[in-house]
Amino acid sequence: MNRYQIIKKPLRTEKGVADVQSSNTYHFEVDMKANKIQIKDAIEKFFNVKVADIRTQVRKGKNRRVKFKQGRTKDWKKAIVMLKEGSTIDLGY
């Protein structure tokens, strides 16, 4: 699995933007099969920064209904990446 498959997208939420400003922490949606070591390597190579800590969460999908059909969204994995002092990622927000 290469680094382009591991990191799916950055998450832009109110909490995520507040974490960037307060504790230099970024939120990403990552591949379900990726572990912390692979995520760390991908972030460091892709953005050219130094990672201090990574926390991951597996977020469960929700039940959804469209008209008469019942369905469920997919489970997904969230990585919360804390960077070392002096490192930043410009995500446009």
Q: Helix, strand, coil % (nearest 5) of the chain?
A: 30, 40, 35
Domain count across the chain: 1
Is residue 40 in a domain?
yes
Distance between CA 79 and CA 81 in Å, rounded? 6
What is the DSSP-derived secondary structure letter of residue 61? P
What's the CA gap between 83 and 89, in Å, rounded?
9
Is 52 a domain residue? yes
Tokens of 5: 């498959």
Predicted confidence band of residue 1 (pLDDT cuts 50, 70, 90) = confident
Residue 88 lies in a domain: no
Predicted TM-score (pTM) of this structure: 0.88
The parent domain of residue 27 ranges over 3-83
Residue 91 inside a domain? The answer is no
Residue 93 within a domain: no
Task: Tell me the pLDDT tens digit for each residue of 16-74.
Answer: 999 999 999 999 999 999 999 999 999 999 999 999 999 999 999 999 999 999 999 99
The band of 93, judged by pLDDT with boundaries at 50, 70 and 90, is: low
CATH number for 41: 3.30.70.330
Confirm whether 67 is domain-assigned: yes
